[in-house]
Amino acid sequence: MAVRTQLSNTSLTSSCRNITSPNDSNLWHGDCCKEKIQEVRWLGNFEEVPEYQRKPYIHWYYRLEAPRMRHFWRVHNELGNMWTHLFAAAVTLIRFRSWWQCEPTQDATAAPSLVWTRQTYAAGVATFFFGSLITFCISVMYHWRHCGKELEVKCWLCLDISCCGLLLLLGFAAGVPMGFHCYPELQKGYMLQAVTVALAAVCAFAFETPATRGRFSSPTLILGGISALWPALHWLMISTAGRQAAGGWLLVVIVCGILATLFYTKSIPECFAPGRFDLLCNSHQLWHVFIYGAIAAYAEALIAVFKLTASSSFCQ
C-alpha cells in the first residue's frame, strides 16, 4: 500500500515538473497535478497521523484530510464503525415506529389505577428508543469527525461517552419501574443504584481533562453496565411471568454485553494479528455490533414487560 502510494506520488510529481511554461493552461494543469497528489495521499499509516487519532493494533487506512462527506462511502478504517451504527439507528427507528403504531389499547380487564401508570411506562419505553437513536447518531458523528482537529475530536468523544451514560440511565429508568412494579421497596433500591451510577459517571467526567477524555468515564460506564446485571437477574428469579415473557431477551442482553466488553477491552482480534483487521472485524466494530444487539434485545424486553402491565393479574 505504502509502496504503491509512493510510486504514484513520484510519477505525479514528475509530470508536474514537466510543466514549466507560465501560460494559463500550464498553470491550470499544475493545479490539477497538486489535487491529484492530494487525492492519492488521502490515506496513510498510523505514523502519519497525530497520536490522538491512532488506535491500538490498527496500522493502515488512516485519513490524512479533514472530515468530508465522501468519507461515508470511501474505504478507510473508520468506515465500518460509522456504518454499523448508521444501520443500528435505521433499524431502531423502524422498530420504534412499528411498536408505536401496533401497541394495543388498554386491556379492558386492567385495573383503573394502572391506566396512568402504563402511560408513564410507555413514555419510558419511547424515551429509551429515542435515547438509543441519539446515541447511535452521535457515535456516527464521532467516528466521522475522528480525523479532525484534536479539540474537535475530544468534544465528539465527550458527547459519545455522555450519550452512552445517558442511555444506561434511561435503561434503568425505563426497566426498573416496570419490572419491579409489584415490589415498591426493590423498585426504590434499584433506582437508587441507577442514581449512584449516574453520579459516578459525572465524577469521572469531572476528574478528566480534554487530553484524558474517556480514561476514567469509559471504565465507569462499563462497570455501570455490568452492575445492571444484578437487577435483571433478580427480577428473573422473582417474576415467573416476567421470566417467561422477557427472559430470553434479557439473556441476549447479558451475553452481548459480556462479549462487547471482552472484545473492546482486550482489542480482540487485532491484538493477535496487528494490521490484519484495519478495515473489517476489528474490536471496535465488534463492540458496536454486540452493543447494538444488547440495546435492541433490551428494547424488546421492555416491550414484553410493558405488555404484561396491561393485565389486571400482573401482580398476582
Domain borders along the chain are: 2-69, 78-308
Residue type at 18 in one-letter notation: N
CA 208 to chain centre: 21
pTM: 0.81
Asked if 92 contacts 136 with a C-beta cutoff of 8 angstroms, the reply is: yes
Q: Which residues contact 138 (CB under 8 A, 6 or more apart)?
A: 156, 159, 160, 163
Scored b (16 or more CB within 10 A) or e, 244-260 reads: ebbbebbebbbebbebb
Residue 156 and residue 147: Cα distance in Å, rounded?
A: 11
Residue 1: predicted pLDDT = 42
Residue 8: predicted pLDDT = 39
Residue type at 56 in one-letter notation: P
Share of the chain above pLDDT 90, in %: 50
Residue 82 and residue 84: Cα distance in Å, rounded?
A: 6
Q: Which residues contact 38 (CB under 8 A, 6 or more apart)?
A: 65
Question: Which helix (H) or strand (E) is 43 found in, with range?
Answer: strand 43-44
Averaged pLDDT for residues 165-182: 88
- Condensed to tens digits (0 to 9), the pLDDT of residues 238-266 reads 888 888 889 999 999 999 999 999 999 99
Averaged pLDDT for residues 140-167: 92
Q: How many Cβ atoms from other residues are within 10 Å of residue 206's Cβ? A: 9
Residue 198: predicted pLDDT = 79
| Residue 132 pLDDT grade (very low, low, confident, very high; cuts 50, 70, 90) | very high
pLDDT at residue 6 is higher than 50: no
Averaged pLDDT for residues 273-284: 96
Residue that wins the pLDDT comparison between 103 and 142: 142
Residue 264 and residue 269: Cα distance in Å, rounded?
A: 10
Strand locations in 162-273 (E): none
Asked if 9 contacts 37 with a C-beta cutoff of 8 angstroms, the reply is: yes
Q: Supply the DSSP symbol for 46.
A: G
Q: Is the dihedral of CA 141, 143, 147, 153 positive or negative?
A: positive
Arithmetic mean of pLDDT over the chain: 83
Question: Which helix (H) or strand (E) is 48 found in, with range?
Answer: none
| Residue 170 pLDDT grade (very low, low, confident, very high; cuts 50, 70, 90) | very high
pLDDT at residue 138 is higher than 60: yes
Residue 31 DSSP SS3: helix
- Condensed to tens digits (0 to 9), the pLDDT of residues 210-243 reads 667 677 888 888 788 788 888 888 988 888 888 8
pLDDT at residue 39 is higher than 70: no
Averaged pLDDT for residues 64-93: 97
Residue 110: predicted pLDDT = 52
CATH dotted code for 78-308? 1.20.1070
Scored b (16 or more CB within 10 A) or e, 265-296 reads: eebbebeeeeeebbbeebbbbbbbbbbbbbbb
Residue that wins the pLDDT comparison between 260 and 24: 260
pLDDT at residue 36 is higher than 50: no
Residue 142: predicted pLDDT = 97
Averaged pLDDT for residues 116-138: 93
Averaged pLDDT for residues 163-175: 89
pLDDT at residue 139 is higher than 50: yes
Residue 27 and residue 105: Cα distance in Å, rounded?
A: 72
Residue 168 DSSP SS3: helix
Residue 281: predicted pLDDT = 96
